[in-house]
Amino acid sequence: MMTLLQVESITKRFGGVVANSEVSFSVDEGQIVGLIGPNGAGKSTMFNMISSIFPPTEGSILFCGKKIDLLPSYKVAPLGISRTFQNLQVFKNMTVIENVMVGQHMRTKQNLSGVTSMLLGITRKERKVYEEAMDILRFFNLESLYDQKASSLSLGKLRLLEFARAYATEPKLLLLDEIAAGLNHSETSEMSELIKRVRESGVTILVVEHDMDLVMSICDKLVVLDQGMKIAEGTPKEIQANEAVIAAYLGA
Ligand code: ADP
Ligand code: MG
């Protein structure tokens, strides 16, 4: 099994706040790994460093064996790391399909004004991008909404669109930050099925999620953070029986 992501003794300080303290873990190719823990544990901060939004204070992050923690984020995305945001980052004034095309653009390097001409299907290449975008929408059960403004979508559909946009970049590693937050029971089951289908399509996934039924049913491995420190790592079964995790998080 190849190690895709290796987080080595990462510490992040914001002034006096220690958001992550000497955290180490790895993600193997093909795995779904869950990063869990109470609010303020440092989960989003870890995602921000893996996607190079800001660098760690200490430690290093390796992706496919290469050090990426000092790269600017525009150089990390083309290596094959994509993410969703806890506070959604869809373009509200664009349609559903245009949002997916923005994701495709990250890899096809088509210029953004091209999105409009793509919709007119001017060249065969542009037509292909449009058809691929429709395929992605079908994969996420969003095809009937393709021409709707993102601003008109429900929270559940917005979360699917955020996921679809990140998937459209064809990442090797996808980081999902609270992708099921605020979803009802049936939307959460749909999300769970989609995450598994995305993994089957060859994408490795790291998830931050509070819905423990979801996390326990889809993850191969869990890493537990509390107050910036890693307090446990193991299979869902091991984590559910771990005394330190029950005291810090699961017992609450
Ligand atoms: P989680 O995602 O696990 O809820 P976060 O990573 O968002 O936790 O936050 C961990 C800690 O780091 C919190 O105390 C938070 O206030 C702090 N923090 C996160 N981002 C910043 C930032 N950009 N500037 C200052 N403090 C931050
Ligand atoms: Mg967070």
Separation of CA 85 and ligand 1 centre (Å) = 14
Q: Indicate the domain borders of the chain.
A: 3-250
Q: What is the pLDDT of residues 139-193, one digit of tens each?
A: 999 999 999 999 999 999 999 999 999 999 999 999 999 999 999 999 999 999 9
Q: Is the pLDDT of residue 110 over 50?
A: no
**Contact yes or no for 174/205 (Cβ under 8 A):** yes
C-beta of 224 in contact with ligand 1 (< 6 A):
no
Separation of CA 42 and ligand 1 centre (Å) = 6
Q: Measured from the CA of 45, which atom of ligand 1 is nearest?
A: 6
| Mean pLDDT confidence for 14-36 | 97
Report which of 59, 85, 58 is spatially closest to residue 158, judged by C-alpha positions.
85
Q: Is the pLDDT of residue 120 over 80?
A: no
Look up the ipTM and state it: 0.98
More confident residue, 33 or 72: 33
Residue nearest to atom 11 of ligand 1 (CA): 19
Residue nearest to atom 17 of ligand 1 (CA): 19
**Which top CATH class is 3-250?**
alpha beta
Separation of CA 176 and ligand 2 centre (Å) = 11
Separation of CA 11 and ligand 1 centre (Å) = 13
Pocket-testing residue among 7, 13, 17, ligand 1, by greatest number of atoms within 8 A of Cβ: 17
More confident residue, 109 or 188: 188
When mean pLDDT is compared across 46-50, 114-118, 132-136, the lowest value belongs to 114-118
